[in-house]
Structure 1
Amino acid sequence: MKITRRQVIEYLQITVGTAITASGINGFYAPNHIADGGVSGIGIILQYLLHVPIWLTLAVINLPLLWLSHRLWGGRVGVRTLVGTVLLSVWVGVLHWHPFSHNVLLAAIYGGMLSGVGLGLVFRARGTTGGTDVVARFFSHIFPISMGQAMMVIDFFVIAGFGVTFDPTKAMYSLIALFISSRAIDVVQEGTDFARAFTIITAHPNDVASRIMLEIGRGVTRMGGRGAYTGEARSMLYVVVLRSEVTRVKSLVYEVDPDAFVVVANVHEVIGEGFRSPPVEE
């Protein structure tokens, strides 16, 4: 089987990502008894209570969960998931960092950043590190809740375990770490240079669209609409631009039609011509 350049890059991303996540666990989380939930949080609790190495907990919990996923729902467990799961356990066992900080707040902030950046790289490479998502999926099949809600419940109980095992303050710091980690994952996967999407309702759609395409060089989609109150047919224009182009678009629209109705929305990721290239195999 031919290995493409993209596949090599993705496996490198998984390797680096799991190493970064392990650094956050060993350098910030474990020494300060905080975590952002999940299996790593269970590992830190067991290390404190029973002196079980965190890497062993990760392996003992994650690998059976992957087998359970295969047995319950069928399908082949992805190679990237196996690689990510094994590498995280290996890195946590190998990278024995001296604690980067004993300040619990700094540990929550920087541990969350490292964990999120590392997991974001793994997810961006189409991999995972196992974890409680399998348990969440199982509960979502039994109870009328979504995967996201199930994950929140699981993380809640893990972080509540920190409050019982250590003290409530550590649980509150763990919530900070969970929030920061989640945001870091989003930034790594979606990028920081967020675009803006314009929805423009105007009486002069042809003129507005022509000027946007000619002067800014962005494609415009025209859609039909009808006002619910007046019953009049109106045209809507949809265009996605960079943040640096927002002011130009607004000025251009109102030069053509001072009565135009404009909605500007945040867009976290844009794939296509003029933005990010599609994720296709090389």
Structure 2
Amino acid sequence: MTSAGSNIPRAIKDTLYTISGTLISGFALKSFLIPNHFFDGGVTGISLLIHELYHYDIAIVILLLNLPFIIAGGMHVNRTFAFKMLASIICLGICLTLVPYPVITSDKLLVSIFGGFFLGIGIGLAMRGGCAIDGIEVLALYTLKRSSFTISEIILGLNTIIFLIAAMKLGLETALYSMLTYFTASRTISYVIEGLEEYTGVTIISGKSDEIKKELVMQLGRGITIYKGERGYMKESFEVHHDCDIVFTIVTRLEVRRLRNVVHGIDPKAFIFTNTIKEAAGGILKHHRGH
């Protein structure tokens, strides 16, 4: 009973994310892209392209084109994901058919930027809800298992074909503006999925690691992980090396400079490098307070 009860809030949260995502995606399509004959990458872009060339109902085209990827998602991810994806795409089709979205603007630059922005928010929220409005990610995962290309390379290749066809059929200018739409949407999706904080992993190698550890924990309130390593091995003194503690911690990107200043205040020669953390949970993580 406890397990089932604890899953109810998550299910409600996922449902709200999905509904919000489909509503906002419908807004981006009906208020910006479709009236101005713009399109995007992925399956959504192909659907818009078919709608523009042959004037088929966009809701039906999106559903039909995504059906193979829904089936593939059920086979290669799980049935729950496939069911959520089907439900979200049906919900998007209902929004496109029944919701009277207003046309916001006909300015090409505004359409390309804000159409992509709102579409990215919609797709990102749906992905936060555990589903996908666009099946190109599923196709990329399927192709990845049968080729040496990365997911990014596969998606880039597919979208390049889409934009080339659009340039030939609808004109180069429309294709270029639509590429801007795709870029804006993809960046917005990353921002929505990764969240506002976007954690950064920081690794510190220093001969004064004990002082740095104390400062990070006692003064900055950070959680740390220690790796045992060796430092030295310089070209002019390769035989000279020492045991050392390698300190690893996670901070938000806004705190990286402060952490660097603290570490370099203790040891100006400390070696620091960072890497982006896509998602972090548990442990000791400091969150921003609302302003």
Is 2:184 the partner of 1:175? no
Q: Which residue of 2 aligns with 1:235?
A: 245
The residue type equivalent to 2:93 in the other structure is S
Q: Per the alignment, in what secondary structure is the counterpart of residue 87 of structure 2?
A: helix
Shift of 1:74: 8.7
Residues 124-133 or 49-58, more deviating: 124-133
Shift of 1:265: 4.3
Residues 56-65 or 110-119, more deviating: 56-65
Q: Which residue of 1 aligns with 2:119?
A: 115
From the superposition, tell whether residues 42 and 96 of structure 1 become closer, same or farther in structure 2 (CA, over 3 Å): farther
Is 2:63 the partner of 1:46? no
Q: Per the alignment, in what secondary structure is the counterpart of residue 132 of structure 2?
A: coil
Q: Which residue of 2 aligns with 1:199?
A: 203
Residues 164-173 or 256-265, more deviating: 256-265
Q: Between Structure 1 and Structure 2, how many residues are aligned?
A: 276
Inter-partner Cα distance in structure 2 for 1:128 and 1:92: 17
Residues 13-22 or 190-199, more deviating: 190-199
Q: Which residue of 1 aligns with 2:157?
A: 153
Q: Per the alignment, in what secondary structure is the counterpart of residue 268 of structure 2?
A: coil
Q: Which residue of 2 aligns with 1:280?
A: none
Map Cα deviations across residues 35-71 of structure 1 (whole Å, 9 max, x no partner): 221222222222222221110101222124423555x
Query: Structure 2 stretches of 5 or more lacking a match?
Result: none
Inter-partner Cα distance in structure 2 for 1:73 and 1:80: 14
The residue type equivalent to 1:102 in the other structure is S
Map Cα deviations across residues 114-136 of structure 1 (whole Å, 9 max, x no partner): 11111111111111125233444
* TM-score scaled by length of structure 2: 0.84
Given that 1:137 and 1:150 are in contact with CA atoms closer than 8 Å, whether structure 2 keeps it comes out as no
Q: Which residue of 1 aligns with 2:266?
A: 256
Map Cα deviations across residues 192-240 of structure 1 (whole Å, 9 max, x no partner): 2234433222112112211221111112222222233335123321122
Shift of 1:24: 0.6
From the superposition, tell whether residues 228 and 88 of structure 1 become closer, same or farther in structure 2 (CA, over 3 Å): farther
Given that 1:221 and 1:238 are in contact with CA atoms closer than 8 Å, whether structure 2 keeps it comes out as yes
Q: Which residue of 2 aligns with 1:97?
A: 101
Q: Per the alignment, in what secondary structure is the counterpart of residue 31 of structure 1?
A: coil
Q: Which residue of 1 aligns with 2:89?
A: 85
Q: Per the alignment, in what secondary structure is the counterpart of residue 259 of structure 1?
A: coil
Inter-partner Cα distance in structure 1 for 2:78 and 2:250: 38
Given that 2:251 and 2:285 are in contact with CA atoms closer than 8 Å, whether structure 1 keeps it comes out as no
Inter-partner Cα distance in structure 1 for 2:129 and 2:269: 46
Equivalences for residues 54-69 of structure 1 within 5 A? 54-67=58-71
Residues 227-236 or 160-169, more deviating: 227-236
Inter-partner Cα distance in structure 2 for 1:4 and 1:42: 36
Inter-partner Cα distance in structure 1 for 2:245 and 2:212: 11
Is 2:58 the partner of 1:29? no
Is 2:226 the partner of 1:216? no
